[in-house]
Structure 1
């Protein structure tokens, strides 16, 4: 075989591998993203109905509130996304690898799906806050502003949406990493992964100034907690990147074992 023929064959092989890799990534991304978006739509649909109905019911009863349903969404949405990160990767991992998919395509698709989920949750969270604020103002009530505590406050809608998107993406990635850890490390060490996972979640809550873990971190380390979006949001991106790397460290070690 001539050198020219070998070069052409190598180029064709590389092109085929690249196409196969792209198809596998898109399949993983589509499967996981659809799961996150479908279940997320149900979750946020319920919360938006409650957000609209709660103040109207309270007003009809002659009462007044300062915090509506979105107070609950501020803390529960990311944990809902976390649980989906665990469940969806668990459902896909074995089937993907057994069908000949690679760990790298699973990782790339998982990271992409986490970012899609993050953006969707971030936007829907900010929209929910706007809806609740509008209802409270129409009823003549004071509204306690929710969302990220990062400044500037004039752009709270954009800042809160971006902060929530970053936080949810990290929660999804950490959930997926813990699920992969059970396959790669076993039950005992996989369970211990919850500890560094919680540390990562507390870190993203702190730098984005969102969620329940931010309140604890702010109380303990008030001087080290960022207050500016110019600092907090880039720091959140770094936590997303670290979470993706942590997921890869577990996926690359996954081995399929026969059922006993």
Structure 2
């Protein structure tokens, strides 16, 4: 009897591991399937802008703007779309809310790290290219590791928030989902304030403690929101 119970537990655990891995791979692969073209198009657009600046003697370019600073918004959109496509199929096929939650948490963390790394690489490379072309660089220099850290926090928070928003509409319907949307946007708003990335130029910079605490709270809040939305999700979406 003991052997049978242990074998059953092992089978259940193996099923959950495979289901979680499948969701994680779907989240990462689905994001990069479109994401690679996002970066290609963004880089081409940046080249066009640089070319125009070179030919017309423009005022300069900020390396932190453009594709490097907007990756989180692309991730936000993808994070809303992907759960809506896999959730009903995953649950109907025998997956659980727990495997969905774990899969999207791991997938969101993975793509957040990857996109933050690519964005930081663009920030490092672009001033070098601009220097070769004698195009002035605007904006104050900043530590690369600090930029990488803030981008990691922003990207992951936006992914978790997008996932939570998608499932809020799935489980609550249009009216309640829209009301919940306002609450779910608080973590990315906090992360934006804490890092000052994307805010109006001229606002005072927060202290390092505010940045660390703000990002940590935003990450915890967005991950908790994602878990809450998945925890007792029904198979069929609610309409209305």
Does residue 148 of structure 2 align to residue 168 of structure 1? no
Aligned equivalents of 2:67, 2:195: Cα separation in 1: 16
Segments of 5+ residues of structure 2 without an aligned counterpart are none
Does residue 118 of structure 2 align to residue 124 of structure 1? yes
For the Cα contact (< 8 Å) 2:88–2:236, is it kept in 1?
Answer: no
For the Cα contact (< 8 Å) 2:61–2:137, is it kept in 1?
Answer: yes
Deviation for aligned residue 1:138: 1.8
Does residue 232 of structure 2 align to residue 237 of structure 1? no
Kindly provide the CA deviation profile for residues 192-220 of structure 1, in whole angstroms up to 9, marking residues without a partner as x.
122112221111112233224xx49x84x
Runs of 4+ in 1 over 6 A off after TM superposition: none
Does residue 4 of structure 2 align to residue 24 of structure 1? no
Distance change in 2, residues 1:79/1:33 (3 Å): same
SS at match of 1:71: coil
Q: How does 1:1-260 map to 2 (within 5 A)?
A: 6-59=1-54, 61-67=55-61, 71-73=65-67, 75-145=69-139, 153=142, 156-212=143-199, 215=200, 219=203, 222=204, 226-228=206-208, 232-233=211-212, 235-257=214-236
Deviation for aligned residue 1:28: 0.4
After superposition, the CA RMSD in angstroms is 2.5
Count of paired positions: 239
Kindly provide the CA deviation profile for residues 97-125 of structure 1, in whole angstroms up to 9, marking residues without a partner as x.
11110011001000111111111111111
> Which stretch shifts more, 190-199 or 103-112?
190-199
Deviation for aligned residue 1:146: 7.1
Aligned equivalents of 2:226, 2:17: Cα separation in 1: 20
Distance change in 2, residues 1:70/1:49 (3 Å): farther
Aligned equivalents of 1:77, 1:167: Cα separation in 2: 9
Aligned equivalents of 1:9, 1:123: Cα separation in 2: 47
For the Cα contact (< 8 Å) 1:167–1:204, is it kept in 2?
Answer: yes
Deviation for aligned residue 1:38: 2.0
Aligned equivalents of 2:13, 2:235: Cα separation in 1: 25
Q: TM-score, normalised by structure 1?
A: 0.82
